[in-house]
Amino acid sequence: ETGHPRVLTLVHSCGQSDRQRGIQHLAHEGMVRRIIGAHWGLQPRWMELIANNQVEAYCLPQGQMAQLYRSMACGLPGKMSTVGLGTFVDPRIEGGKMNERTRELEDIIDVMEYGGREYLFYKAIPLDWCLIRGTQADTQGNLTTTDEAMKLEVISAVLATKRWGGKVVA
């Protein structure tokens, strides 16, 4: 209604949607300028915005996204891996860029050599906010994830956000 928030960057590692809810609520042109994520099958509104070049979009491997949170939480500048070499995420091929709007933008993955081997370097992404869900909470702010579908990278994403001075909302 107010036109705010606008031009956000949305980062996700495992879809966070069920084709209707979750991050589907943020799928409005102009609200999100850039989306970086993995596992797109449960996000039809996002796929429509991406296909129509209404948002910058990058697709990265889900496991690398989860591990990138951990690297960021440790204060590292990114995550080095052989995963993705020679695939669509390799910047010499497509760099994980999902549409024409994104193809002209900077790469968020670099190719590097270390010890005579080639690697992809997934660059750290500054996080200002992290939205998480917990099954139960106590008055001190502790959460359980007992009944949550995906809990693999929750603590890493929280710590990565805190590393950048961001805020966590549960």
Average pLDDT rounded to a whole number, residues 37-44 = 85
Q: Is the pLDDT of residue 138 over 90?
A: yes
β-pairing verdict for 143-144 and 129-131:
unpaired
What pLDDT digit, counting tens, does each position of 52-73 carry?
999 999 999 999 999 999 999 9
- At residue 53, the pLDDT reads 97
- At residue 15, the pLDDT reads 67
- At residue 66, the pLDDT reads 92
Query: Distance of CA 146 to CAs 63, 107, 132, Å?
Result: 21, 37, 13
Q: How crowded is the C-beta side of 36, counted as CA atoms within 13 Å?
A: 20
What pLDDT digit, counting tens, does each position of 83-135 carry?
999 999 999 999 999 999 999 999 999 999 999 999 999 999 999 999 888 89
Q: Residue 157 corresponds to which amino acid?
A: A
Q: In the chain, where do the E strands start and end?
A: 8-11, 32-37, 56-59, 78-81, 109-114, 117-123, 129-131, 136-137, 143-144, 167-169
Per-residue b or e along 78-109, where b marks 16 or more CB atoms closer than 10 Å to that residue's CB: bbebeebeeeebbbeebbbbbbebbeeeeebb
Nearest residue to 155 via CA among 79, 37, 72, 39: 72
**What pTM was estimated for this model as a whole?**
0.90
- At residue 55, the pLDDT reads 96
- At residue 125, the pLDDT reads 96
- At residue 119, the pLDDT reads 98
Name the most confidently modeled range: 22-31, 71-80, 143-152. 71-80
Backbone angles phi, psi at 161, to 5 degrees: -65, -45
- At residue 133, the pLDDT reads 84
